[in-house]
């Protein structure tokens, strides 16, 4: 669908009026931002406390290897 | 120009950065994070067999937590955010833990020189562990993968990644932002792999 010049002019005016009324909000990512306050903190604590002390990732040597 | 630099962290409460439904949650949020980080660090020290040689400093951890929330408050104000993404939480937390070194060695004569870098060692693991936990949470509804965290911890690629983190924490310049990019890169690679399988 193509808009006419008049429609586009009107859209422009609507945009400016919305902006001046403060109705254009900075978009927030609609992701999982709220979850850390809804159980993730407990989840993370439990995961770390349940760390297997024998897992290969955890038992890494302190000794440094040469970086290529 | 004279900058008005606060001399305490009180502004984090007065500034109302952590308001929700008209209630200032800062004290509760700070308390919970402090307690949880304390428990995490201490558990990992113990599991590493270093419980008799290291202590979590109460005061250094307090500073680390408040430095972290001061950084988050700046981000929330600047970007007008209500909450912060998990990757950012883990990256900024790791950064401020590494800046403040809350794990203190009690008796260095009983440990070899490499082991003295205990903060870098523990935080390099914690950083990956939290990302893996988040990864599992994100994917468990969509993909049937048993014991994802165990698989992540057994992966040679992830072990190499931890080693590179450990090395970088000791010898390279890093910021909270570069750690965030690390976290995002890790998650992108892991999610791509999970989707492709």
Q: What ipTM is given for this predicted complex? A: 0.70
CB-CB neighbors (< 8 A) of B152 in chain A? 57
What pLDDT is attached to residue B26?
84
What b-and-e string marks burial along B169-184, b requiring 16 or more CB atoms within 10 Å of the CB?
A: beeeebebeebbebbe
CB-CB neighbors (< 8 A) of A55 in chain B? 150, 153-154
What pLDDT is attached to residue B5?
61
Strand B103-105 and strand B54-56: pairing? Answer: antiparallel
What pLDDT is attached to residue B92?
97
> CB distance B115–A36 less than 8 Å?
no
φ, ψ for residue A27, nearest 5 deg? -70, 140
Cβ(B131)–Cβ(A30) under 8 Å? no
B147 Rama class: left (phi>0) / alpha (psi -120 to 50) / beta:
left
Strand B103-105 and strand B23-24: pairing? Answer: unpaired
Cβ(B65)–Cβ(B37) under 8 Å? yes
What pLDDT is attached to residue B16?
79
Residue B177 corresponds to which tokens in the numbers above?
A: 């932002």
> CB distance A48–B149 less than 8 Å?
no
> CB distance B170–A64 less than 8 Å?
yes
What pLDDT is attached to residue A26?
47
Q: Is A51 helix (H, G, I), strand (E, B) or coil?
A: coil
pLDDT band per the 50, 70, 90 thresholds, residue A2: low
Per-residue confidence in pLDDT tens, chain B, 197 aa: 455 666 677 788 777 788 888 888 888 888 889 999 999 999 999 999 999 999 999 889 998 998 999 999 988 888 877 778 899 999 999 999 999 999 999 988 888 888 899 999 999 999 999 999 999 888 776 666 778 888 899 999 999 999 999 999 999 999 999 999 999 999 999 988 887 77
What pLDDT is attached to residue A67?
58
Cβ(A62)–Cβ(B121) under 8 Å? yes
Give the DSSP letter string of B104-169. EES-GGGS-GGGG-HHHHHHHHHHHHHHHHHHHHHHTTTS--TTHHHHHHH-HHHHHHHHHHHHHH
Residue B80 to chain A, least CA–CA distance (Å): 8
Nearby residues of A35 by Cβ (< 8 Å), 6 or more positions away: B86
Give the span between the Cα atoms of B125 and B100, in whole angstroms.
Answer: 17
What pLDDT is attached to residue B194?
83
What pLDDT is attached to residue B155?
93
| Residue-wise pLDDT tens digits, A12-44 | 777 767 667 777 664 444 444 445 656 788 889
What pLDDT is attached to residue B116?
92
What pLDDT is attached to residue B10?
78
> CB distance A33–B121 less than 8 Å?
no
What pLDDT is attached to residue B144?
67
> CB distance A56–B159 less than 8 Å?
yes
Give the span between the Cα atoms of B101 and B77, in whole angstroms.
Answer: 27
């Amino acid at each position: 669908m193509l808009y006419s010049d008049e429609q586009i002019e009107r859209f422009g005016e609507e945009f400016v009026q919305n902006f001046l009324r403060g109705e254009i909000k900075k978009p927030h990512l609609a992701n999982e931002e709220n979850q850390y306050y809804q159980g993730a903190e407990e989840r993370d604590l439990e995961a770390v406390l349940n760390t297997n002390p024998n897992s290969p990732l955890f038992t890494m040597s302190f000794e440094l290897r040469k970086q290529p | 120009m004279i900058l008005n630099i606060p001399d305490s962290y009180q502004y984090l409460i007065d500034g109302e950065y952590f308001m929700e439904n008209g209630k200032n949650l800062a004290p509760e949020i700070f308390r919970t994070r402090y307690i949880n980080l304390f428990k995490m660090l201490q558990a990992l020290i113990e599991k590493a067999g270093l419980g008799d040689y290291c202590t979590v400093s109460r005061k250094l951890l307090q500073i680390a937590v408040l430095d972290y929330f001061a950084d988050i408050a700046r981000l929330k104000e600047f970007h007008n955010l209500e909450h912060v993404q998990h990757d950012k939480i883990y990256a900024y937390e790791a950064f401020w833990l590494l800046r403040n070194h809350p794990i203190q060695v009690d008796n260095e004569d009983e440990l070899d020189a490499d082991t003295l870098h205990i903060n870098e060692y523990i935080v390099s693991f914690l950083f990956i562990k939290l990302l893996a936990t988040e990864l599992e949470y994100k994917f468990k509804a969509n993909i049937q993968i048993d014991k994802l965290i165990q698989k992540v911890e057994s992966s040679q690629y992830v072990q190499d990644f931890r080693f590179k983190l450990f090395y970088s924490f000791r010898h390279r310049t890093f910021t909270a932002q570069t750690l965030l990019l690390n976290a995002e890169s890790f998650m992108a690679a892991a999610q791509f792999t999970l989707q492709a399988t």
